[in-house]
Amino acid sequence: MGMGIVGALVGAVMTIPPIVYVLNPTIESNLLGQSDIPDEWQELGSVFEIPSGEPKLYRVEFPQNQTYNGKGPMLGEGSIINAVYVSWRDGELPSLLENGSPGSLSTSEIEELMQQLNVMSNHCAHLGCPVRWFPDRSEMLCPCHGGIYDINGGLLAGPPPQDLFKYAFEIREDGGIYIRHEFTNGKPYVV
């Protein structure tokens, strides 16, 4: 019986390090909130090019350096390419922009535009399939399981548990929209 206990202890000691090695990326990202994606702002476009009544689709590339435990490259450098939908709240162009480009935006104008802009991931909140905008229905639809979202990314129907994830974003004086790989209503979808 003593040999059985010693064997079980030795087996546990030899099993735990490989399990920690395999699970470490999940532990770092989900429990500790760490990421291999730098906390840098990426430019999308300009508020002056977002149309009324429909979202504009952008592609953004986030640099990524995949490391294990901060001790050097495991998989090397790469990037994550995401599609991002940007729309005006309820599809209505802000009155501030109705006359075109006013040049440099003031702080109050930027704050007003920030309240009216949706910057959303195009990944369905159910299983991450890319949603598409259908102008004839004025809805975003997920082709995988039928999730339906409105122009604001709000859930209308289907199996998704919540609205589309919204990116943290800022608008600068020239009207440029900048985002970073951070979400304001939940954890990011990890591909």
- pTM value is 0.70
Q: What is the mean pLDDT of residues 129-151?
A: 92
The dihedral built from the CA positions of residue 103, 107, 110 and 112, taken in this order, carries a sign that is negative
Domains of the chain, first to last? 1-34 (no CATH), 35-183 (2.102.10.10)
Residue whose pair of structure tokens reads 């959303």 in the numeric block = 120
Tens of pLDDT, residue by residue over 91-113, are 888 877 777 666 788 888 888 88
Provide the mean pLDDT of the chain. 79
Altogether, the residues listed in the chain come to a count of 191
Cβ burial of 123 (10 Å; 0-12, 13-18, 19+) is: buried
Out of 43-52, 77-86, 113-122, 175-184, pick the least confident.
Answer: 77-86
Tens of pLDDT, residue by residue over 13-59, are 778 777 766 666 666 655 655 555 566 788 888 888 988 899 999 98
DSSP string, 145-167: T--EE-TT--EEESS-SSSPPBE
180 beta partners? 168
